[in-house]
Structure 1
Amino acid sequence: MPERTDWEAKASNLLKAELKRKGVTYAQLVENLAEIGVDEKEANIKNKLSRGKFTAAFFLQCLSAIGSQQLHLD
């Protein structure tokens, strides 16, 4: 299995940090995504974030679903 790249790890860590900052669980993220028309299962989200393998579109959908309007890359 290929190793995670630094960029994949950074993307995953940014999204996880934003979820934590907003106090949103994976289960709540599933519900919020459904509200904007994105069908995901909690297990799939956990896998995507642990592997760091997801599209930019998924990243943006998650940020939108939890109401993030700014993202700090530092």
Structure 2
Amino acid sequence: MAFASYLMTKDAETTRPPTASRRPPAAVGNVKGILKAELKRREMTYADLVERLAAVGIFESEANLRNKSSRGAMTAAFFVQCLIASGCEHVRIAPPDTKAP
């Protein structure tokens, strides 16, 4: 009985899917890039964005905003709030393998 249990355990271990790689998904890079590009287009800093977010009732520290941006770890809602607060009206998103004109 112990042998069968051992085999079942070993079989389960070999059929597990491989662990996720440490590399962040492409979407994370897109979020970071879009937000940074929109701030740069408007000659805004993270401090400016913090002030504009506070004006609409969203209170974040500059350090927290920088961390969220560098990791790309923010909700879609917060990402959109940042874009709106920065004055962005349009965002062009191209599929990964095509170049935007």
Normalised to the residue count of structure 2, the TM-score between the two structures is 0.68
Aligned residues: 73
1:62 is aligned to 82
Q: Does 1:40 align with 2:40?
A: no
Q: Does 1:14 align with 2:28?
A: no
Q: Does 1:49 align with 2:69?
A: yes
Runs of 5+ unmatched residues, structure 2: 1-21, 94-99
| Percentage of pairs with the same residue | 48
Q: How big is each residue's C-alpha offset from its partner over 1:6-60, in whole Å with a ceiling of 9 and x where there is no partner? A: 1111111111111111111000000000001100000001101110110001111
Q: Which has the larger radius of gyration?
A: 2
Q: Does 1:26 align with 2:42?
A: no
Shift of residue 4, structure 1, vs aligned partner: 1.8
Q: 4+ runs of 1 displaced by more than 2 Å? A: none
Normalised to the residue count of structure 1, the TM-score between the two structures is 0.91
Question: Comparing both chains, which one has the higher relative contact order based on Cα–Cα distances under 8 Å and sequence gaps of 6 or more?
Answer: 1
Shift of residue 3, structure 1, vs aligned partner: 3.3
Alpha-carbon distance between aligned partners in 2 of 1:6 and 1:40, rounded to the nearest angstrom: 25
Runs of 5+ unmatched residues, structure 1: none
